[in-house]
Amino acid sequence: MDSLSLSGICRHQFSPITMLDFNQSNHRIEKAGFVRKPEKGGLTITQVASPLRRPVIVPSLDNETVDRRDRNHVAWTSVRQERWEGELVVQGEIPLWLKGTYLRNGPGLWHIEDYNFRHLFDGYATLVKLQFENGRLIAGHRQIESEAYKAARKNKKVCFREFSEVPKYENFMAYVGDIAKLFSGASLTDNANTGVVKLGDGRVVCLTETQKGSLVIDPNSLETLGRLEYSDCLGGLIHSAHPIVTDAEFLTLLPDLVTPGYLVVRMEPGTNERKVIGRVNCRNGPAPGWVHSFPVTEHYVVVPEMPLRYCAQNLLRAEPTPLYKFEWHPESKAFLHVMCKASGKIVASVEVPLFVTFHFINAYEEEDEDGRVTAIIADCCEHNADATILDQLRLQNLRSFNGKDDLLPDARVGRFTIPLDGSPYGKLESALEPDEHGRGMDMCSINPTKLGKKYRYAYACGAQRPCHFPNTLTKLDLVKKKAKNWHEAGAVPSEPFFVARPGATEEDDGVVISLISEKNGNGYALLLDGSTFEEIARAKLPYGLPYGLHGCWVPKE
Ligand SMILES: CC1=C(/C=C/C(C)=C/C=C/C(C)=C/C=C/C=C(C)/C=C/C=O)C(C)(C)CCC1
Ligand SMILES: [Fe+2]
């Protein structure tokens, strides 16, 4: 479908959205105009930019959205309707070489009926697209149709175990039944709200921490096509939410909660079968450390063993604990294990200072003058060995910011050095002075051609304080140890995502894409120059979207 060559969609206007009244006999009366408010208990209709320009019925998400929107920043407010698509007016110039679709996934719906969820990570997944071609931009968003989302809408309540939400049980027997289902994974969510990746075979998959939450979507229509059913018998219920995906492979970690350890597995494009590269046994602790992400180098997989560990008892609880499904075990220490990708052998296993990270940035091999690998360098967004950021991401905290209190816990670019000479200890230092980026640091991306290789630049969210959430887009120069920061008062930017210019020879030759949720309820897509970090274009959305987590790039063939 070439949705950009449509007749009838004016280049410098939003495509029209039409409100529908919906009566009991399903007769609809169209009223032209833009969506301003969802109608009470009603349905909205969106003119989706398709060659047929068929209107699509779009349920608005409830009656209370308007009230919520007035009180809260749009970043932490449920998306107002299930889907929308249209062309955006572009201010500035989108480079003509930028051809393809940026997809961003994240939790975007935090209530069912009048029940409000607790935590940012509980929200039902909202997928956003920005389709670039010939300097023009079509945007859209759509709810991912996970079983968890569909069941919640149908039954008007939470039906699966989310990050902090669990189903409310009618009686004790229902609770016991649900616990039984926990062991088979049946009661765990498939709400794929964390990231989205394009596999080497072209399939686009949305992910979360449960294996069952690997959902294949259509990057054009954003339709949910079905579950990626892994055909192997590796079992387990959870995996890393951030596999390493290239055109050649899909690598991930499967934590083993019974005999604490991790399987390192690899899946080839065109298959659904993960094969085991090797196993890492935990050095310590009652359970493996949380592996939301992990880094690789050209020849090695680095398996982190954080003191923030999975906790089976917390999985069973009906009420969340301060660290949700996890527990802090400083006594069990922290380790990094290095596995050879080709042989599955562990070539280093070192104790490192205590750390907390959700997102590794990159890793590479350090060589001596004879080309021998002497150490692995692994960089991450490190939260100063303090897991309180998880609590800070409760919706109540995110929604109650007064603009004055400086509530965001400090973070930095943590740089691990893992010696490969058999030494038992690794180092952890700051890669640059954290004040360079306001002591906020998360949601990172790099030039994908530098994956696993020595690199210089990373893009991430930093902080302009006082703040309660990362509020800058930051370009990190890890050689000069300097940062450039983009900031707009009251705006919440999502992960800056780097797209390289085809044919580029410089690492930072490309653009950085982010979606901005504004204080006044609006929102826009933003393009920064990857090198100068200056704005090159922005395009206003018809309404602000909730905050989102991670993205990927699907180039136009
Ligand atoms: C771990 C288990 C589960 C679910 C876990 C989920 C949905 C985790 C999501 C984690 C995310 C989105 C982490 C993002 C971190 C971002 C940060 C720290 C940003 C900081 C900004 O400053 C269940 C599936 C519920 C059950 C099994 C265990
Ligand atoms: Fe993540």
Ligand 1 near 122 CB (within 6 A): no
Ligand 1 near 189 CB (within 6 A): yes
Residue 496 and residue 514 in contact, taking contact as beta carbons nearer than 8 Å: yes
Ligand 1 near 22 CB (within 6 A): no
What's the CA gap between 188 and 209, in Å, rounded? 10
Structure confidence at residue 181 (pLDDT): 82
Dist. CA 39 → ligand 1 center (Å): 33
Dist. CA 358 → ligand 2 center (Å): 6
Q: Closest residue (by CA) to atom 23 of ligand 1? A: 163
Ligand 1 near 292 CB (within 6 A): yes
Residue 363 and residue 376 in contact, taking contact as beta carbons nearer than 8 Å: yes
443: left (phi > 0), else alpha (psi -120 to 50), else beta?
left
Instruction: Give one DSSP letter per residue of 138-166, joined into a string.
Output: EEEEEE---HHHHHHHHHTS--SB-SS--
Ligand 1 near 208 CB (within 6 A): yes
Structure tokens belonging to residue 382: 């490190």
Ligand 1 near 492 CB (within 6 A): no
Question: Helix, strand or coil for residue 473?
Answer: strand
Q: Closest residue (by CA) to atom 20 of ligand 1? A: 442
Q: Closest residue (by CA) to atom 2 of ligand 1? A: 209
What's the CA gap between 451 and 463, in Å, rounded? 25
- Can you give the pLDDT of all 557 residues of the chain as single tens digits? 333 222 223 333 333 332 222 222 222 222 222 333 333 333 343 444 443 333 344 566 654 444 444 469 999 999 999 999 999 999 999 999 999 999 999 999 999 999 999 999 999 999 999 999 999 999 999 999 999 999 999 999 999 999 999 998 888 888 888 788 888 889 999 999 999 999 999 999 999 999 999 999 999 999 999 999 999 999 999 999 999 999 999 999 999 999 999 999 999 999 999 999 999 999 999 999 999 999 999 999 999 999 999 998 898 888 889 999 999 999 999 999 999 999 999 999 999 999 999 999 999 999 999 999 999 999 999 999 999 999 999 999 999 999 999 999 999 999 999 999 999 999 999 999 999 999 999 999 999 999 999 999 999 999 999 999 999 999 999 999 999 999 999 999 999 999 999 999 999 999 999 999 999 999 999 999 999 999 999 999 999 999 999 999 999 98
Q: Tokens 């400083």 identify what position? A: 330
Structure confidence at residue 71 (pLDDT): 67
Atom of ligand 1 nearest to the CA of 549: 12
Q: Which ligand is nearest to the CA of 197?
A: 2
Dist. CA 192 → ligand 2 center (Å): 12
Dist. CA 424 → ligand 2 center (Å): 29
What's the CA gap between 513 and 522, in Å, rounded? 17
Atom of ligand 1 nearest to the CA of 326: 1
Q: Closest residue (by CA) to atom 13 of ligand 1? A: 358
Structure confidence at residue 43 (pLDDT): 37
Dist. CA 241 → ligand 2 center (Å): 7
Atom of ligand 1 nearest to the CA of 470: 22
Residue 244 and residue 263 in contact, taking contact as beta carbons nearer than 8 Å: no
Ligand 1 near 325 CB (within 6 A): yes
Cis peptide leading into 424, omega within 30 of 0?
Answer: no
Structure tokens belonging to residue 121: 């990570």
Neighbours of 261 (CB within 10 A): 18
Atom of ligand 1 nearest to the CA of 162: 25
Neighbours of 241 (CB within 10 A): 23
Ligand 1 near 210 CB (within 6 A): yes
Binding site members for Fe cation: 242, 292, 359, 550
Q: ipTM of the predicted structure?
A: 0.93
Binding site members: 242, 292, 359, 550
Question: Helix, strand or coil for residue 71?
Answer: helix
Edge-first strand order for the sheet with 224-227 is: 195-198, 204-207, 215-217, 224-227
What's the CA gap between 295 and 304, in Å, rounded? 9
Ligand 1 near 389 CB (within 6 A): yes
Dist. CA 551 → ligand 2 center (Å): 10
Instruction: Give one DSSP letter per residue of 171-236, joined into a string.
Output: SHHHHHHHHHHHHHTTTB-----SEEEE-TTS-EEEE-SBGGG-EEE-TTT--EEEE----S----
Q: Which ligand is nearest to the CA of 290?
A: 1
Ligand 1 near 442 CB (within 6 A): yes
Dist. CA 131 → ligand 2 center (Å): 23
Q: Is the dihedral of CA 113, 146, 322, 184 positive or negative?
A: positive
Ligand 1 near 327 CB (within 6 A): no
Q: Which ligand is nearest to the CA of 550?
A: 2
Buried b or exposed e, range 384-394, using 16+ CB within 10 angstroms: bbbbebbeebb
